[in-house]
Chains A and B, each alone.
Chain A
């Protein structure tokens, strides 16, 4: 189908974009980044914003830079740019691996990092990356800028902590030097994953110093698996197979995923166990090889 009619502006400054959000609040405005999630929803008429504020002409929202121990990615940075960036490959390899699993190249050429995070699809990869990485999301509104931790950012399916007059402008990821893995199950290559797992493993000698795990597809938002992380902390790398299996059990404990056309709740839980285990094993083996 064709999208419903809407009014449109492509302001050149962030202040103007935020001003338009307030000014046209009654039209239920939406911010347009790459449009790769929003426009399909509009074509299906599942989304009917009366006003679109396109960020493409706002300077300074795109780009990748290092600030000491932090990798800073502008919200309008295209996925394909992240995928090709040597800086991301070194400082945030988990993000690089996850971005490669987002749809296909033509979608990644338009789709943006900030757009995916602000859209907050519970099946999407990037929210899990943000959670596992302890990313900070920078929101700019009429009164200035604030940082929201990933753990507080995702509040529900397609819902975030962004206020109606705020725009996500930057993603700040702590630089990661340990092992990483983003693994997922999807029925067809590059489709939305049924279940996805982001895993970060940091070693201290032969022991796991710290593990960070996040899952998609098993709850209304991407979730952090703290109980599983606690199982892994202090484990000898020689015992990682057994510890990963135990952690996988802890990761799904208490989860009640919804079933749908793609997978029943039981299937999702079984997949989550398997992929948590695989994620831990891969991230651990990479951590050992990178020393």
Chain B
């Protein structure tokens, strides 16, 4: 039996999409090639490096070892969805200010993983951040700046929340 395509419907950064995909289409390729969202990077393609990290229903996943069909019905968040109305997300601001980008290759995955880290723990210690971002490799080895950026963003997000409440 020849492989056929499947119809999937999912939400990406708040926008609904319906698409025909081959079952073997990896989620990262679906995002980059089919939707043109090339912010999510491809690194190792076997679930080790983490640069393809996106959020599925708020939880971080490796989009290079997830089929697009597995995301049917899900809400996906990618790095393109972080900035709102021309305003950078606090994580993006902090990565920029604290030199957390370096070459930038790991950045989209780091940012999405950091979203989850701060959502679970709004006031993480540097040790907790270092342990949590061990899921994502930075081959510039700029972990110190990345850790500082995540801590800084968490502080900004707490402050914004206090002002709002």
Interface-side segment among B65-73, B77-85, B151-159 = B65-73
| A60 close to chain B: CB less than 8 A | no
| B32 close to chain A: CB less than 8 A | no
Contact A43 B59 (CB under 8 A): no
A232 → chain B closest CB, angstroms:
33
Q: A residues within 8 A CB of B134?
A: 104, 189-190
Contact B6 A8 (CB under 8 A): yes
Q: Which of B1-44 contact A (CB under 8 A)?
A: 1-4, 6, 22-24, 26, 29
Contact B62 A107 (CB under 8 A): yes
Contact B69 A1 (CB under 8 A): no
Taken residue by residue from 39 to 61, chain B's Cβ proximity to chain A (1 for < 8 Å, 0 otherwise) reads as 00000011100100100100111
Contact A106 B135 (CB under 8 A): yes
Residue among B45, B61, B135 making CB contact with A190, cutoff 8 Å = B135
Q: B residues within 8 A CB of A189?
A: 134
Residue among B1, B4, B6, B65 making CB contact with A40, cutoff 8 Å = B65
Q: Which of A34-81 contact B (CB under 8 A)?
A: 35-36, 39-40, 42-44, 51-52, 54, 56, 80
Residue among B45, B46, B59 making CB contact with A80, cutoff 8 Å = B59
Q: How large is the interface on A (under 10, 10 to 19, 20 to 34, 35 or more residues)?
A: 20 to 34
State A6–B60 Cα separation when bound (angstroms).
Answer: 26
B139 → chain A closest CB, angstroms:
14
Taken residue by residue from 108 to 121, chain A's Cβ proximity to chain B (1 for < 8 Å, 0 otherwise) reads as 01100000000000
Write the chain A residue with the least CB distance to B109.
Answer: A106
> Given known contacts A2-B26, A32-B70, A190-B134, what 11 new A-B pairs fall within 8 Å (CB)?
A4-B24, A5-B24, A7-B4, A8-B67, A39-B66, A43-B64, A105-B60, A106-B113, A107-B135, A110-B61, A190-B135
Interface pairs (9), CB distance under 8 Å: A3-B24, A7-B3, A36-B62, A39-B66, A105-B113, A105-B135, A106-B50, A109-B59, A110-B66
B147 → chain A closest CB, angstroms:
15
Contact of A6 with B70 at beta-carbon distance under 8 Å, contacts A36-B65, A39-B47, A190-B134 already known: no
Contact A2 B46 (CB under 8 A): no
Name, among B26, B50, B70, B116, the residue most crowded by chain A CB atoms within 10 Å (CB to CB): B70
Contact B135 A43 (CB under 8 A): no
Write the chain B residue with the least CB distance to A8.
Answer: B23
State A206–B70 Cα separation when bound (angstroms).
Answer: 52
Write the chain A residue with the least CB distance to B113.
Answer: A106
Contact A27 B65 (CB under 8 A): no
State A275–B61 Cα separation when bound (angstroms).
Answer: 31
Q: B residues within 8 A CB of A241?
A: none
Contact of A35 with B66 at beta-carbon distance under 8 Å, contacts A5-B3, A190-B134, A190-B135 already known: yes
Write the chain B residue with the least CB distance to A84.
Answer: B120
Contact A43 B3 (CB under 8 A): no
Q: A residues within 8 A CB of B113?
A: 105-106
| A10 close to chain B: CB less than 8 A | yes
Q: B residues within 8 A CB of A54?
A: 69-70
Q: A residues within 8 A CB of B23?
A: 5-8, 52
